[in-house]
A and B are shown apart, each in its own frame.
Chain A
Amino acid sequence: NAGVTQTPKFQVLKTGQSMTLQCAQDMNHNSMYWYRQDPGMGLRLIYYSASEGTTDKGEVPNGYNVSRLNKREFSLRLESAAPSQTSVYFCASSSQGRNQPQHFGDGTRLSIL
Chain B
Amino acid sequence: GDSVTQMEGPVTLSEEAFLTINCTYTATGYPSLFWYVQYPGEGLQLLLKATKADDKGSNKGFEATYRKETTSFHLEKGSVQVSDSAVYFCALTEGYKLSFGAGTTVTVRA
Q: Which residues from chain A sit less than 8 Å from chain B, CB to CB?
A: 4, 31, 33, 40-45, 48, 50, 58, 90, 92, 94, 98-107
Q: Which of A33, A42, A48, A100 has the most CB of B within 10 A?
A: A42
Q: Add 20 more A-B contacts to A43-B89, A43-B98, A104-B36 (CB < 8 A).
A: A31-B96, A33-B98, A42-B89, A42-B102, A50-B96, A90-B44, A92-B98, A94-B96, A98-B93, A98-B94, A98-B95, A99-B31, A99-B51, A99-B95, A101-B34, A102-B98, A103-B46, A104-B44, A104-B45, A105-B43
- Residues A99 and B42 in contact in the complex (CB < 8 Å), given A40-B102, A41-B102, A48-B96: no
- Residues A98 and B96 in contact in the complex (CB < 8 Å), given A41-B102, A43-B89: yes
Partner pick for A104 among B41, B43, B94, CB 8 A cutoff: B43
